[in-house]
Structure 1
Amino acid sequence: MNQADITIVGGGLAGMVAAIALARGGRHIAFVAPPAARSDGRTTALMDQSIRLLGRLGLWDKIAPATAALSTMQIIDGTHRLLRAPTVAFHAAEIGLDAFGYNMPNKALLAVLGDAVATEGNIRVIEASAVAIDIRDDGVTVTLDNGEMLQSSFVVGADGRNSMVREAAGISVRTWSYPQSAMVLNFAHSLPHQNISTEFHTESGPFTQVPLPGDRSSLVWVQKPTEAADRAASTPEVLSVQVEERMQSLLGKVTVEDGVQVWPLSGMTASRFGKGRAALIGEAAHVFPPIGAQGLNLSLRDIMALTDILCDRPQQAISATAGDQFDRKRRTDIISRTASVDVLNRSLLSDFLPVQVLRAAGLHVLASLPPLRGIVMREGIEPGRGLGFIPSMLMEKLRRKAS
């Protein structure tokens, strides 16, 4: 029976980053994942906190050439309702950053992470699938479809929304669905994006353009399922015109590229995010709509918290309650982010006038109060950062009044 400190089940983006972070934290990792396709045409926007993690792991310089900076994020009310919100622009320079984050093709990110996993001495890559997982007080046994059995002190479930690790740990989930689908695509445009990401709020959901290198952008267009299916079945020329019209021609002529995908929107959250000798990260723990660039950024915060717990003293044995520690550490962030994304999405769908008033008023306040906008921006890229800035902001105001 093969031994490791930690077994990671699942080979996606979250699983690979977790393997690298925990291995470089001094733990011996068994990384269990069947061979994965590297043809993912989607993109990922990572915020400043996530970029700093990749920098600490020595990965950012290899990824950076394939990315585009997100220096400005603007929200435009694209609804046709009587009560419309003002346009709000958030500039990274307002909080002392060159960029809120960077957008990158998943293919480039997967390539860099794959190379790092393959060359990391503390990681043993096992191209197999788990068929049974036994989580006990004294350790974890993972049985693979090749007949091999792995013994470790801890198991990390990075195996998606149908997680075997979650099931083995006896952790239940709450699921929900939305009357929406997300169309995901990349497109070229005739005018430069100037590193500006624009999110149009529409009656069917957000329409979010995010810069890519050159005169290209990625798009997540949340819409009614029937409309998404019809548009996906149309010709690239027709879809290009529709995207340009929805963009209000802000980027000039649009040319939609091959690889349009449509995904039904749903949500899921686990009742616990860790238990005993197991922890859940990524979509094994939480799933929600692609709004506000929260998905992988939330997963990387999972990994940062897990690394703090499991690698604080890598020469010592892993505690039998490390999963419970992880659950306590991650609960507030995950629940609050899931709830905020859900409320924002449902507010766009609601025709209830008071809901529209609240949404418009909130955006108006952000547009007119720079200090509050700064707090929201800091909190958006790193939980606690915005709230932690309030005392220093108040002290600065008192200092100015006294002088």
Structure 2
Amino acid sequence: MTEIRREVAVIGGGLVGYGAALGLAKAGFETILIAPQAPDDRRSTALIGSSLDFLATCGLIGEIERAGEPLRVMRIIDDTMRLFRAPNIEFHASEIDRDAFGINILNADLMRIFRAAASAMTDRLTVISDAVTSIDAKEDHAHLTLSSGEMVRTGLVVGADGRRSRVRESAGISVRNWSYPQSAIVLNFGHQRDHDGVSTEFHTRTGPFTQVPLPGRRSSLVWVERPETADLIVSARPDRLSRMIEDRLHSILGAVEVEGEPQSFPLSGAAASRFGAERRVLVGEAAHVFPPIGAQGLNLGLRDVIDLIKAAERHRDDLGGRRMTADYDRARGADIATRTAAVDLLNRSLLSGLLPVQLARSAGVSLLSRLPLLRRTLMREGVEPGSSFRLPARSARRDDRPSSV
């Protein structure tokens, strides 16, 4: 029986799995990516802050900039029609000395870029399309059995294998799951007027309705609705759906034309009880699941990867050992917990009909509108968590990354 030996084995062929494999290989670790073919993904992702910094270190920022669209302004409009409504507010990247908050890119384009980069790193990165059938972790290594019958021996197993993670299950790590009374409709559309790099999020009684710019006169859309309403929307004729979207946008982009078939899926969340066990760590949706609100999903997964690489570099002498997995678990705990709580609170506040909740939300947005320092702090934290505490050091450093953000 053939045995493949690598320092790190990444399991999962999605964007976070490819990102982890590329980053670890770039950091000098002999890596194997076990990546069954992922389904086609017509969604987009707004890459922000540290995600772009990480992808720049992988040498990918130029291609991402050419394929994506900069996000220069983020606008929030209270469209709940409730008694206490928050004021409209705009966040401009220029307020925090940036040209843009991030870059919105189609997931299919990002995957194409990742796969091309992986194929160019064959000296340190091997990609195979087999599935993993079993994981056996020992004191000083782990054995993976593949569907082809081959065996992989490795020091560290990275679980990037999604919400039904086999890696998480093999480690005995429990997970807390919850659901929302909502579904998300995702699609792309063309429009008559320029978006000018502005992303607009309408807060409605059923959840956010968010338009995010794509290159040209095109945008992506995340439309959160009640499940029964979402079913009716995705079954509507393209011309009828286009008019519905234009109405929801209050015609700010003029006439709208939907591209392709819309997708819909129920909203849910999940959080693993820990993010590392002996010889195994979790990244992306194996560790946490978010509703598509606030551009947190993939960005949080790439921050997992960033902290994983740092932990691996600190523990090269025992890659995947108890000290390394405990180090990684500590590094990820606060970031994941705070982002989970923030997204959950925002979403549930929109659903609540209680007047005190409406008043509190309206007052919070009003403060952001009136207090520039608070608004800039929130923007910096949104782009790069923890950056508000490192401003003096950052201001003295030139950003030599070849990016527009």
TM-score, reference length from structure 2:
0.94
* C-alpha spacing 1:16/1:224, structure 2 compared with 1 (3 Å): same
How many residues get paired? 391
**Pair 1:183 & 2:209 matched:** no
Matching residue of 1:91: 92
Kept in 2, the 8 Å contact 1:95–1:374? The answer is: yes
How far the C-alpha of 1:118 sits from its partner, in A, is 1.7
* C-alpha spacing 1:391/1:324, structure 2 compared with 1 (3 Å): closer
Matching residue of 1:362: 364
Matching residue of 1:69: 70
| Per-residue deviation, residues 179-229 of structure 1 (Å, max 9, x unmatched) | 000000101110100000000000000000000000000000001011110
| Structure 1, unpaired ranges of 5+ | 394-403
Matching residue of 2:194: 192
Matches for 1:49-68 after TM superposition, within 5 Å: 49-68=50-69
Matching residue of 2:17: 15
Kept in 1, the 8 Å contact 2:71–2:213? The answer is: yes
Distance 1:286 1:392 in 2: 29
Runs of 4+ in 1 over 3 A off after TM superposition: 387-393
Distance 1:17 1:381 in 2: 19
Q: Please give the secondary structure, in 2, of the residue aligned with 1:347.
A: helix
Distance 2:137 2:365 in 1: 47
Letter in 2 for 1:329: A
Distance 1:224 1:319 in 2: 43
Kept in 2, the 8 Å contact 1:31–1:126? The answer is: yes
How far the C-alpha of 1:312 sits from its partner, in A, is 3.9
| Per-residue deviation, residues 353-377 of structure 1 (Å, max 9, x unmatched) | 1111110000000011111000000
Distance 1:335 1:276 in 2: 22
Distance 2:240 2:125 in 1: 48
Letter in 1 for 2:28: G
Letter in 2 for 1:232: V
Matching residue of 1:170: 172
Q: Please give the secondary structure, in 1, of the residue aligned with 2:164.
A: coil
Matching residue of 2:205: 203
- More divergent stretch after superposition (169-178 vs 54-63): 54-63
How far the C-alpha of 1:317 sits from its partner, in A, is 3.8
Kept in 2, the 8 Å contact 1:75–1:200? The answer is: yes
Letter in 1 for 2:364: G
How far the C-alpha of 1:80 sits from its partner, in A, is 1.2
Aligned residue among 133, 136, 140 for 1:134: 136
Matching residue of 2:8: 6
CA RMSD of aligned residues (A): 1.5
Matches for 1:361-400 after TM superposition, within 5 Å: 361-389=363-391
| Per-residue deviation, residues 248-307 of structure 1 (Å, max 9, x unmatched) | 111111111112100100000000011121110000000011000000000010000000
Query: Between the two proteins, what is the percent identity of the paired residues?
Result: 49
Matching residue of 2:329: 327
Kept in 2, the 8 Å contact 1:67–1:105? The answer is: yes
Kept in 2, the 8 Å contact 1:22–1:311? The answer is: no
Kept in 1, the 8 Å contact 2:157–2:320? The answer is: no
Matching residue of 1:214: 216
Distance 2:108 2:254 in 1: 27
Distance 2:130 2:20 in 1: 18
Q: Please give the secondary structure, in 1, of the residue aligned with 2:220.
A: strand
Distance 1:153 1:25 in 2: 16
Aligned residue among 130, 145, 150 for 1:143: 145
Kept in 2, the 8 Å contact 1:48–1:99? The answer is: no
Letter in 1 for 2:70: A
Matching residue of 1:293: 295
How far the C-alpha of 1:127 sits from its partner, in A, is 1.3
Q: Please give the secondary structure, in 1, of the residue aligned with 2:261.
A: coil
Matching residue of 2:246: 244
Aligned residue among 287, 296, 309 for 1:307: 309
Q: Please give the secondary structure, in 2, of the residue aligned with 1:259.
A: strand
